Each structure stands twice: as structure tokens, then as C-alpha cells.
Amino acid sequence: MDTPTSRPTSAVTVMGRQVPIWLAALVPLVALGLLLSVFTFGNPLALFRSNIPPAEELTFDRIQVTQDGFRVTLVNGGPAEVTVSQVQVDQAYWSFGMTPSNTIPRLGRAELDIHYPWVTGEPNLIRVLTSTGLAFEGLVEAAVPTPLPGVRQFLAYGLVGIYVGIIPVVLGMLWYPAMRRLERRWMGAILSLTIGLLVFLLIDTLLEGLEVGSELPGAFQGVPLMLFSALLAWLVLVAIGSSRASTGETDPARARVYLAGLIALGIGLHNLGEGLAIGAAFALGAGALGSFLVVGFTLHNITEGIGIVAPLIPARKTSNELEETAPEPSPAWTHFAGLAFLAGAPAVAGTWIGGFAFSPVLATIFLGLGAGAIWQVIVEVGRLLQRDSRRDGTPLVSWFNLVGFLLGLAIMYFTAFLVKV
């Protein structure tokens, strides 16, 4: 006997009457539209208003040093339009022009051109005064011409990205042949070292993202934007991992390559943020350390290559099998090339964006994505280390693993002294 199946109904009961679902869903929308119309065309809050003008907020999005002076990109993040009436440079009033207008609407932006005879290497303080008398300031740390997009500058910035991104990763990956011959406990220490360097990158990325996000106009909600980006990246990677688990993937070699790819992705997003900072620093003349800065980033990032290839090492049962068992074949060279590109190439893109079109909003989003990805990578590497410890019957937090974790933190911390300017 057939059992009746439940079917979706096309009507709902409202006050004892059958009403179509589309009508029941439309009623709240109509009510919301009427409420918004009242506030838009009426003035229900007139009693609470005073003659005090609304608070103004102008943000210096970018300051470019041109041959004739300065070009400033202003963003209005306040609740009402803002009119720029006067401009000072180093406490002196100067003529200026604005495009498209002196009045900037809410969440709008305008280009401010100031003709000023700047001196190479000297700092300059730019102050913008609005029609209400409020002042907003921006600082040129060292007056040097802002690089313009061109083949020569494009290649130069790309080369810097290769120096600080791809080359350190490749140098770290060169330890892979030696790592394949290590005993089991040493591999646990290297995985713990990987977690240590990832924890440092996570904290560094979060702090940098919070700093950049806090400088955005209030309307853009920089800190929540960074945190939401981190949450999005984490959820996407969790979804990818869940889909892989649902397919029943059991090949350990594929699992190792997948985990190495996750580590490379997380490090790559972090390197994108580093590239943004480096490109912006060179564009603003703050990267005067030159080759010293590049060497510092190379030493700072070289450990990343070790962390990427660590999951590619096949597990061994006992130390005696190092001589008795034939080694498993290594992943193809294309895998190593792909991992190096995934981890290092974002630094190249970052230097281009930071040098030619730096955007605090994009920087905040990228740093948030990097933080979320790095967190999920830490979780995945921790699971791998836990599985290895359970299989071998050894404690998860052994002395070898603890020393490896602390060493990862220490290497990243002390080499960071070479790149913090």
C-alpha cells in the first residue's frame, strides 16, 4: 500500500484564511518599504536634531609625490558631505585644485593636487581644512617621486618580489632530500617547527591586518572587514577539506601533497601582505634600507620552504628501516615548482599592487584571508602530527616536538628584526 508523501503547500493560514505563500512573503517587504519611505521623505526625528553640524571624517587614502608637488586621494567616511576650503603644507597655506569637486559626498573620494617645491628626502606634513574648520593631516615621510607604471619599474618591483618571496621558499625546499633520511622523531620535530613558524605568521598577519583595518574610514569597518575575510577563508578551506573527505580519498601520497599545498597557500597569502608592505614602502621612500631589507626578508622567509615540504616526507615505521626499506618515490618536480609558485608568487603581485596602486581596503581583505588560511593550515598540520603520534605510540607534546615548535617561533622572531623598519 502506498504511503502518502508530504508535498510543499502553496498556501499558508493567516487569521483563519488561506493566503498564497508569495503574498505572505511580500507583506513584510511592503511594510519595510513604507517604513523606509517615512524616514526618507518625512522627518520623524526632527525633535532630536540640533544646529550642531554632523561630525566630519576625511581619510588620506594615498599621497603621491609628483614633479610639481603632491597628489592626495581623500576619502569621506563621515555621515555627511565634506567641503575642503584650505590646504596647508608644513604650516603654510598653498593653492590647490580638486577633482571632481571641493565637496566630497559621503563614501566618495577626490583627488587633491598641491603645487609645492618639495625637497628630496625631507618629510612634509599636509593638512586639509574643511568648511567647518576641522583639520585632517597626512604625512609624507620622505619626499621622493612616486614611481609611475612602466616596464622598467614593473620589472624592478617584480624582481624584488622574487627575491623576498620565491627564492627563500626554493632555498628552504632544497632541504627535502636530507629530510627524507631523518628518523621518525626528527620528522615530528620538523612538523612542530612548521607549526611554530605558522603560529608566528598568524599573529603577525592578524596584528598587521588590525593595524591597517583600524586606519580605514569608519564607514568601511576595517577591523570587522579583516575578521570576516579571515572567517571566509577558514570556512572555504574547511569546506574543501570536507568535500575531499566525502569522496573517500585514501591515498597517503595525495594527502601529503594536498597538505603541502594548503601550507603553501597560507604562506602565499601572508607573502602577499608582505609584498604589499614592501611595494608601498619603496614607493613612499621608506624602503631606504635597500638590499639590506631584501636580504632580511630572504632570511626571514627561508624557513617557509622547510615547512612546505615537511608533510611530503613519507612516514617510516622504525629507524632501522632507514637502511632496509627502499625509499618511496618523491613527488614530481612539477609539484615542487607549483608549491614554490603558490607560496612565493603572491609576493610579486603584492609588490606591484603596493608600489603602483596601494589600497588599504584590499590590504585589509588580503591580510584577513591570509590569517584565516594560516589558521586552518595550523589545524591540519596539528592533525597530521597527532595522527603520527597516535600511530607511533609517542606523546604529542614530546621534548623533540616542543623544541621544534619553540625553534620555529624563535627563528621567525629573531629574523623579523631584519625586516621591521
Q: What is the structure's pLDDT at 1?
A: 46
| Structure confidence at residue 251 (pLDDT) | 66
For residue 407, is pLDDT > 80?
yes
CA distance 97 to 267: 43
Question: Which range has the top average pLDDT, 26-30, 41-45, 95-99, 155-159?
Answer: 95-99
CA–CA separation, 239 vs 242, rounded Å? 5
| DSSP annotation of 181 | T
The residue extents of the domains of the chain are 58-140, 151-418
Percent of the chain whose pLDDT exceeds 90: 12
Burial class of residue 233 in the structure, from the number of CB atoms within 10 Å of its CB (0-12 exposed, 13-18 middle, 19+ buried): buried
For 192-240, how does the pLDDT look when each residue is reduced to its tens digit (9 = 90+)? 888 888 898 889 888 888 888 888 877 778 899 999 999 998 888 888 7
Q: Write the CB contacts of 13 (distance below 8 Å, at least 6 apart in sequence).
A: 19
d(CA 357, CA 133): 31
- Angle (nearest 5°) at CA 255 between 250 and 261: 155
Q: What is the mean pLDDT of residues 292-296?
A: 64
Residue 382 confidence (pLDDT): 85
Q: Which three cell numbers stand for residue 395?
A: 606523546
Q: Treating both helix axes as pointing N-terminal to C-terminal, what angle do 252-283 and 333-356 enclose, rounded to 10 degrees? A: 20
Please give the Cα distance from 129 to 118 (Å, whole number): 21
* pLDDT of res. 289: 45
Provide DSSP, 140-171.
ESS--PPPPP-HHHHHHHHHHHIIIIIHHHHH
Which residues have CB under 8 Å from 58's CB, separation 6+?
A: 74, 75, 76, 77, 78, 82, 84, 104, 128, 130, 136
pLDDT at 85: 92
What pLDDT is stored for residue 341 in this prediction? 92
> In the chain, pLDDT over 70 holds for what percent of residues?
83
Q: Name which residue leads in pLDDT, 80 or 97.
A: 97
Amino acid identity of residue 327, one-letter, is: P
Judge contact between 322 and 203, C-beta under 8 A: no
Per-residue model confidence (pLDDT) at position 322: 46
- The C-alpha cell of 273 is what? 601582505
* CATH number belonging to domain 58-140: 2.60.40
Under 8 Å between Cβ of 282 and 160 = yes
Q: How confident is the model at residue 420 (pLDDT cuts 50, 70, 90)?
A: low
Look at 128 and 397; give whichever has higher pLDDT.
128
Give the per-residue pLDDT at 26: 84
How far from 148 is each of 64, 177, 227, CA to CA, in Å?
Answer: 10, 44, 33
Integer Cα distance of 241 and 249 in angstroms: 11
* Residue given cell 599545498 in the structure block: 261
Question: How does residue 175 score in pLDDT terms, banded at 50, 70 and 90?
Answer: confident
Mean residue pLDDT of the chain comes to 80
Least confident of 101-105, 250-254, 286-290, 298-302: 286-290
DSSP state of 100: S
The verdict on whether omega for the bond into residue 314 sits within 30 degrees of 0, i.e. cis, is: no
Whether 79 contacts 55, CB under 8 Å:
yes
Burial of 254 by CB count in 10 Å (0-12 exposed, 13-18 middle, 19+ buried)? exposed
**What's the pLDDT score for residue 125?**
93
Question: How large is the average pLDDT for residues 252-278?
Answer: 81
pLDDT tens, residue by residue, 333-392 = 888 899 999 888 998 888 888 877 777 888 888 888 888 888 888 888 888 888 777 877
At 363, is the secondary structure helix, strand, or coil?
helix
Flag whether pLDDT at 127 surpasses 60.
yes
Please say whether the beta carbons of 307 and 197 come within 8 A. yes
